[in-house]
Amino acid sequence: MFQKILIANRGEIALPIQRACRELGIPTVAVHSTADADAMHVRLADESVCIGPPAARDSYLNVAAILSAASITGADAIHPGYGFLSENAGFAEMVEAHGLTFIGPSPTHIRMMGDKIAAKVAMASLGVPLVPGSEGSVPDLETAQAIAGRIGYPVMVKSAAGGGGRGMKVAPGPGNLEEAFRVARAEAQSAFGSNAVYIEKYLDRPRHIEIQVLADSHGSVVHFGERDCSLQRRHQKLLEEAGSPAISPEQRDALGKVATGALQQLGYRNVGTLEFLFQDGKFSFIEMNTRLQVEHPVTEMICGVDLVREQIRIAAGATLGYRQSEITFSGHAIECRVTAEDPETFMPTPGRVSIFHAPGGLGVRVDSALYADYFVPPFYDSLVAKLIVHAPTRTDAINRLRRALDEFAIVGIKTTIPLHRRIVDDKDFQAGDYTIHWLERFVAR
């Protein structure tokens, strides 16, 4: 097992990583920017190293400073959390080149899945169903027209290097393809430094369903069921559930078999998430994430597993130690992402938190690095707390979520708690009747 783990992250995600380390008896090193000297992740770690000024590119993305911090403190493994360097294949390579363990997948798999075209080509060859589209990058408008004509309109032009919805354009009909192709390419070039694009049939009212997978380095792969992440605004998720209100246990099993079968053939290791669009009873793979995700706690709640602990064990060479049949799904879990944003305008609201009172009780989990008198800095992601509830049924979970939201007090800054209270009381939400477009309309009314 590792002697010491450096956590190359901040905020709420640093905490469950520290907790898992502590339960495994492994000391932790926190790294922080000058803006985060008083942050909770620094206070709770065994040791800490300042790695640079506030801007993320000078601190949490500063590979040399992070590797130096690991070397100085004698850490032998690095957990990247999510965001920052978590899906940077070059960073994972550098970590390994320095004789340390990167707690995550191999650099090869991170790089493969970072290229959306390579990811689709790999998944198609492994029997995973895809959205119909180009089998690779689309070099010019003539090729785009030929493919769109074959699969039928509407189509979507997407950046191969993309993510977060940038470099993505819909062409409702043949008359719109020239512009969609040109704009998507230009956006991809300026946002990601690559103008490689591909084309897919556009699905107009899908749900976003993803499946959590875990693989050891000895060929065992299991899944922990799906999460429904359809409730998002401008590609920022606000609320996630496990399981999805839209899929049956049989559909879960089938999707799980497809996902684990593919990753087993690929020789993948550590955690991974396959993202699907689900419409008209069909799952279509779109992308794979090679990191621990923000919403991983809903899966932990229904499966009773600590995914971070599993990541660490597996990175240290341990075997899974259980089979798919030993993973059971119990009840329903919902996560609300509480951000330091105005709940109406979504403008960031950094500032001082005067009161922080987290809800508690059975089936309530709060992942947050906030505390009273903490100043939320303006430099980073606005996520300040995740409220996760677990209950025997979805109806019970919604009821518990309402109760927990009413108990939650964050004073001094505006947060999205009032918006979450409105969502919980909505009829469509309560019925589980929503697609990826539902929330945009809800916040506009």
Positions marked active-site: 291
Closest distance between ligand MV4 and the C-beta of residue 436, in Å?
A: 4
Q: Shortest gap between Cβ of 205 and ligand MV4 (angstroms)?
A: 9
Is the Cβ of residue 2 or residue 202 nearer to ligand MV4 in the bound state?
Answer: 202
Of 202 and 434, which has the nearer Cβ to ligand MV4? Answer: 202
Cα 423 from Cα 445, distance rounded (Å): 12
Query: Candidates 22-30, 145-153, 198-206, 361-369 — which segment interacts with ligand MV4 by CB under 6 A?
Result: 198-206
Alpha carbon distance 423, 214 (integer Å): 32
The token pair at 426 is: 């909505």
Peptide bond into 243 cis (omega under 30): yes
Residue 85: CB minimum distance to ligand MV4, A: 20
> At 273, which helix (H) or strand (E)?
strand 270-279
Amino acid (one-letter) located at 350: P
Provide CB contacts within 8 A for 321, sequence distance 6+: none
Least Å distance, CB 380 to ligand MV4, is 22
For ligand MV4, what does the binding mask look like between residues 276 and 315, x meaning CB under 6 A? -x--------xx----------------------------
Measure the CA–CA gap between 184 and 188, rounded to whole angstroms.
Answer: 6
Minimum distance, C-beta of residue 134 to ligand MV4, in the bound complex (Å): 11
208 binds ligand MV4 (CB under 6 A): yes
Farthest CA pair distance, the chain: 62
Return the residue of 89, 119, 130, 131 that touches ligand MV4, per CB under 6 A: 131
Contact call for residue 202 and ligand MV4 (CB under 6 A): yes
Q: Is 119 in the site for ligand MV4 (CB under 6 A)?
A: no
Question: In angstroms, rounded to a whole number, what is the distance separating the alpha carbons of residues 370 and 50?
Answer: 20
Distance of alpha carbon 14 from alpha carbon 29, whole angstroms: 10
Residue 75 or 286 with smaller CB distance to ligand MV4: 286
Q: What is the torsional sign of CA 126, 129, 132, 138?
A: negative
Q: Check residue 203 and report its DSSP letter.
A: P
Strand partners, 207: 278
* By the rule CB under 6 A, 169 interacts with ligand MV4: no
Q: Are 302 and 330 in contact (CB under 8 A)?
A: yes
Q: Which of 59, 86, 106, 232 binds ligand MV4 (CB under 6 A)?
A: 232
200 binds ligand MV4 (CB under 6 A): yes
Q: Residue count at the site for ligand MV4 (CB under 6 A)?
A: 15
Residues that bind ligand MV4 (CB under 6 A): 131, 156, 165, 168, 200-203, 208, 232, 235, 277, 286-287, 436
